[in-house]
């Protein structure tokens, strides 16, 4: 029995390095690598954004600061499916050293904030702004670390995080694209404050980091680098009870809490193969979700499953549901989650035209946005690279929106948008450029969605190819 125990432990902890010719062991590592990639996608997605923040600050690893874009984002914002028709603010918090952290959000007035606060697994802690817990009146959100037992003072909206670190995605909405309104949105967003609870009586000024001119790259690396990022998460965050089944699986990949991750060449090759397989599977699942169209007979679909929306909103409280596969797919194409998805924002995505053909950057297309769009704030249509789900690099711009005064409207109030490598004559203000040598996808966003969106009395047609 003792020998058996020793053998089992040896396989789990030494693995490939002592059995490079062990084909069953190799297959096990590759298989577990695929499952780990699907399971860990939201946490790695977060870690990549954190690392982008570190690079933007020249290697400064401290959190409890707010990254922001001082103008509408360009292609240099290489997060997944970002929105360039608003001003992004991304507070990054870490309670490990500082203890509870306060995010102080201003009331509506000079501007409007829409967004959510997430833990490191991108599970929503709460929404902010008119659709959030503060109802647009402003409020102090107190983020407390795992296992925190001390009493908290009154006057805070208390959020109990499952992880020490996390972030918020908060949008300061633009009234228009003129310089005055952009400056107003930035000024209003910078009224937010982020500080430790221990400094609540006299907080130091919040550190803001403008990354508008930086390459903020958080695209998913489908190779062994993915597991380097996953190891950082494992080392820095507690195991969630629901995820402890992954402890031994990750050990076989060389990832173990309290130990360095130093895969040899053979294991790195297996991890690359695992990521190739995971990427192919995740892409196939992403394509399959478009069979569940939002409008009958059309190509637009929600970019997230109903089960996942519920799980992200209630921290996966249903003991009979844990949609890890759907979660993995979602975080290959986007980031952040809302506590009440659909209350403050709504998303529709398509990768195909009305005839079911993939959107091809070498062709030309038109989308008619009917009048009376169900958006109390604004709508936007954004183009992303089909392979990376990010803005196409070097693109002059990647979207058009109703809050852009240059976008031309038809006499009936509808808007015709154009996609293609070249602008149609006289339609430049409504044109979104594509890359002639690649596929693309389109996300249609609605902020402040209205009833006609949900009861589908307002209906947007498909993107159609034009000759």
Residue 16 above 80 pLDDT?
Answer: no
The pLDDT of 150-164, averaged and rounded, is 96
Q: Residue 82: pLDDT above 90?
A: yes
Q: Kindly tell me the sign of the dihedral angle through the C-alpha atoms of 370, 371, 376, 382.
A: positive
- The pLDDT of residue 4: 42
pLDDT at 10 over 60: no
Helix/strand/coil for 376: strand
Average pLDDT over residues 385-406: 96
Q: Give the pair of three-digit tokens for residue 373.
A: 């769009």
What percent of the chain has pLDDT above 90? 92
Predicted confidence band at 342 (pLDDT cuts at 50, 70, 90)? confident
What angle, 0 to 180 degrees and rounded to 10, lies between the N-to-C axes of helices 324-333 and 306-314?
90
* pTM value > 0.85: yes
Which pLDDT value is given to residue 5? 41
Residue 463 has pLDDT above 90, yes or no: yes
What is the overall mean pLDDT for the chain? 94
DSSP string, 75-137: TTEESSS--SSSEEEEEEEEHHHH-SEEEEEPPSSS--EEEEEEETT--EEEEESTTSTTTTS
Write out pLDDT tens, residues 215-265. Answer: 999 999 999 999 999 999 999 999 999 999 999 999 999 999 999 999 999
Check residue 44 and give its pLDDT: 98
Q: Over 70: is that where the pLDDT of 32 sits?
A: yes
H-run or E-run covering 448: strand 440-449
Q: Say if residue 431's pLDDT is above 60.
A: yes
Q: How many helices (H) and strands (E) does the chain have?
A: 10, 20
Rounded average pLDDT over 143-163: 96
Enumerate domains of the chain plus CATH numbers: 292-466 (2.60.120.600)
What Cα–Cα distance (Å) separates residue 276 from each residue in 33, 171, 223, 227? 10, 34, 7, 13
Residue 96 zone, left/alpha/beta (φ > 0; ψ -120 to 50; rest): alpha
pLDDT band for position 21 (cuts 50, 70, 90): low
The DSSP bridge partners found for residue 391 are: none
Tokens linked to 242: 């629901």
Residues in CB range of 154: below 8 A, 6 or more apart: none
Q: Tens digit of pLDDT for each residue in 325-334? A: 999 999 999 9
Query: Taking residues 158-164, what's their average pLDDT?
Result: 98
Measured distance CA(349)–CA(462) in Å, rounded: 11
pLDDT confidence of residue 344 = 85
Please give the pLDDT value at position 343: 80
- pLDDT score recorded for residue 71: 96
Calculate mean pLDDT across residues 291-313.
93
User: For 380-392, what is each residue's pLDDT tens digit?
Assistant: 999 999 999 999 9
């Amino acid at each position: 029995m003792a020998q058996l125990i020793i053998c089992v432990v040896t396989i789990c902890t030494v693995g490939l390095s002592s059995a490079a010719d062990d084909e069953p062991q190799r297959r096990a590592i590759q298989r577990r690598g695929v499952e780990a990639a699907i399971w860990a996608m939201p946490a790695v997605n977060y870690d990549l954004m954190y690392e982008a923040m570190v690079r933007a600050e020249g290697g400064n690893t401290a959190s409890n600061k707010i990254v922001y874009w001082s103008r509408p984002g360009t292609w240099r914002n290489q997060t997944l499916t970002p929105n360039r028709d608003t001003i992004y603010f991304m507070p990054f918090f870490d309670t490990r050293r500082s203890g509870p952290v306060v995010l102080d959000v201003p009331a509506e007035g000079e501007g409007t904030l829409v967004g959510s606060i997430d833990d490191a697994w991108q599970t929503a802690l709460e929404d902010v702004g008119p659709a959030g817990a503060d109802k647009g009146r402003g409020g102090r959100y107190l983020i407390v670390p795992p296992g925190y037992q001390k009493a908290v003072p009154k006057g805070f909206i208390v959020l109990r995080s499952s992880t020490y670190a996390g972030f918020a995605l908060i949008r300061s909405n633009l009234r228009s694209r003129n310089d005055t309104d952009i400056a107003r949105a930035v000024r209003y967003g910078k009224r937010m404050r982020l500080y430790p609870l221990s400094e609540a009586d006299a907080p130091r000024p919040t550190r803001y980091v403008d990354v508008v001119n930086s390459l903020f790259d958080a695209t998913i690396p489908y190779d062994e680098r993915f597991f380097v990022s996953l190891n950082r998460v494992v080392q820095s965050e507690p195991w969630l009870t629901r995820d402890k089944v992954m402890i031994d699986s990750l050990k076989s990949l060389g990832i173990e809490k309290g130990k360095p991750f130093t895969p040899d060449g053979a294991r790195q090759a297996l991890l690359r193969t695992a990521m190739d397989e995971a990427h192919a599977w995740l892409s196939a699942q992403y394509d399959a979700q478009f069979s569940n169209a939002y409008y009958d007979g059309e190509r637009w679909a929600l970019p997230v499953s109903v089960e996942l929306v519920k799980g992200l909103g209630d921290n996966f409280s249903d003991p009979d549901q844990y949609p890890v596969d759907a979660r993995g797919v979602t975080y290959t194409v986007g980031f952040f989650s809302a506590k009440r998805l659909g209350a403050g924002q709504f998303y529709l995505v398509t990768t195909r035209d009305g005839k079911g053909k993939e959107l091809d950057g070498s062709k030309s297309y038109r989308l008619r946005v009917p009048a009376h769009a169900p958006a109390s704030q604004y709508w936007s249509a954004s183009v992303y690279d089909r392979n990376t789900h990010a803005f196409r690099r070097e693109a002059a711009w990647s979207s058009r929106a109703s809050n852009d005064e240059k976008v031309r409207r038809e006499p009936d109030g509808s808007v015709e948008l154009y996609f293609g490598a070249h602008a149609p004559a006289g339609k430049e203000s409504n044109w979104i450029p594509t890359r002639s040598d690649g596929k693309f996808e389109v996300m249609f966003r609605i902020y402040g969605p209205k009833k006609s969106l949900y009861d589908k009395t307002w209906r947007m047609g498909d993107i159609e190819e034009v000759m």
